[in-house]
Amino acid sequence: MACFYLYGDVNMKVAIYCRLSEEDRNKQFETDDSNSIQNQKAMLLQYAMEQGWEVYNIYSDDDYTGSDRRRPEFNRLLADAEARRFNIVLCKTQSRFTRELELVEKYIHGLFPIWGIRFVSIVDNADTANKGNKKSRQINGLVNEWYLEDMSDNIRSVLTNRRQNGFHIGAFALYGYKKDPEQKGHLIIDEEAAAIVREVFTLFSQGYGKTAIARMLNDRGIPNPTEYKRLHGLRYQQPKRKNSTLWKYFAISDMLINEIYIGNMVQGKYGSVSYKTKQNKPRPKSEWYVVEGTHEPIIDRELWDKVQAMIAERAKPFDTGTIGLFARKARCANCGYTMRSSKNRGKHYLQCSNRHVAKDACIGSFISVDKLEQMVTAELNRLAAEYLDKDELEQNIEFCDNLQGQKKRLLADMSAYEKKIAEYSKGIRELYMDKVKGLISESDFVELSKDFTTEKERLERVMIDGQKQLAEIEERIAVGDNRRELIEQYTNLEHLTREIVEILIDYIVIGKRIPGTKDVPIEIHWNF
């Protein structure tokens, strides 16, 4: 194994890593040039050439923070590093690689030396070849971690203040508006899109349904809001899928209840889980930021009030136990779209509205609520009869007992594996300390720690497999208990209630009626 500390070797391969700076993250247009990225590449390529290093690859993450572990190029670099495809990782600064102290220790000080990889950042002089600056690298990592947390708190405080004062802070304006180039945080009307918004509200006020409106727009080739952004050069990064350019029921539905169209700024519907991730979660309506009269309205108050009254009227429930029974539970087998309820001659149906928004959008799924209720009830009663059979119950109880034994043995094995992993980790640390103290050479450390590392990694893989097995066993044990408990409560049913559907059913996939028959294929995904 070649040691990376042969720094005079002209065959050294370097991986260059670049990341877009924080201040450049909110650029909107594809034509915008990221000077930050270009400058980083130029600087690092020049440095690599001066050192006589061969450039293996340039890894560049655009629009990602230094705390985001989901960076695609960052993770690709780590995979290539583990595969020993290069000898050096070169960055502008340590913070470009990561701002997290945990990752500094894990990779720069932990795995990189084991993998034979040197880490260099040229601006802040971080270099793992220099044993004397390890503390400075750790301090850099700690400072960067503090910076992230403080920056997150500061940004959150600033954004909250701006939201409270009615300033728009999103990367993109809502369809119908655009950002005011003269006043930051202010929205102005985009007349091209606003004309469509007015048409949608007017059509609905005239009695047209949401699906019908979507079809009318699609028939005329009007791009939906997502496609509109793309066509106007906005860097709206959302995966393009089949029918992703079409208007659909929920796009119309969301538009008709959005107060931004009457001049009120509504923000904060979602909030981040942590400053270390981009993951967001919905906030309760009481925590939204609503400021009235922040911008010119597209929809006048009279039309708005009429539409809201019509929406409220249409939202009134029909007969108990029919409409709404499977609300948000039924999905089209052909396109995955949530099926909607309709009423015809006193009977209630579920249908895929995608079939009606455009030609060839979906072949469509259709079933009466009564028929679906009968099919679900029959299946539930069948499960109850089968599962609550005395002999079956005894078998399942015995089965669960057997699973408990498997779980106990697996936990004991995993405990032994954990002890072994700890021993190997301790051995590697002790070897590392001997290397630091000069008791053994770098090459000796790499060679001696190789067996420890190999065995440790093998046991870690065994532990991962064991955890998967444990999760499966626990799930099977839980399923046994849950099934018995749930199904005993709902046996010999003739009709379903919304409560029963909510408790027992995750979702139902509904296919298209089989030609020549009255049979509609369904697939029930239970909560047990």
What residue spans define the domains of the chain? 13-156, 177-314, 330-387+499-526, 390-490
Q: Collapsing DSSP states into helix, strand and coil, what is residue 417?
A: helix
Residue 205 in tokens: 């006020």
Q: What length is written for the chain?
A: 528
- Considering only 64-73, 154-163, 363-372, 430-439, which range has the smallest mean pLDDT? 154-163
Neighbours of 219 (CB within 10 A): 12
Alpha-carbon distance of 343 to 318, in angstroms, equals 9
What are the respective helix, strand and coil percentages of the chain, to the nearest 5?
A: 50, 15, 35
- Considering only 27-36, 164-173, 426-435, 471-480, which range has the smallest mean pLDDT? 27-36
Q: Is the dihedral of CA 367, 371, 377, 380 positive or negative?
A: negative
Provide the greatest CA pair distance for the chain. Answer: 90
Q: pTM for the full model?
A: 0.43
Alpha-carbon distance of 444 to 7, in angstroms, equals 17
At the fourth CATH level, the homologous superfamily of domain 177-314 is Putative Large Serine Recombinase; Chain B, Domain 2 (3.90.1750.20)
pLDDT for residue 156: 58
Q: How confident is the model at residue 362 (pLDDT cuts 50, 70, 90)?
A: confident
pLDDT in tens, 198-215: 999 999 999 888 888 988
Give the pairing of strands 347-351 and 366-368: antiparallel
Burial class from Cβ neighbours inside 10 Å (0-12, 13-18, 19+) for residue 331 reads: buried
| C-alpha Rg value of the chain to the nearest Å | 30
pLDDT in tens, 284-314: 777 788 888 899 999 999 999 999 998 887 6
Neighbours of 86 (CB within 10 A): 25
H or E segment and range at residue 13: strand 13-19
Alpha-carbon distance of 5 to 16, in angstroms, equals 18
Specify the fold of 13-156: Rossmann fold (3.40.50)
Do 404 and 398 contact (CB within 8 A), yes or no?
A: no
Q: Same topology for domains 13-156 and 177-314, yes or no?
A: no
CA dihedral of residues 458, 462, 465, 469 (deg, nearest 10): 180
Do 353 and 248 contact (CB within 8 A), yes or no?
A: yes
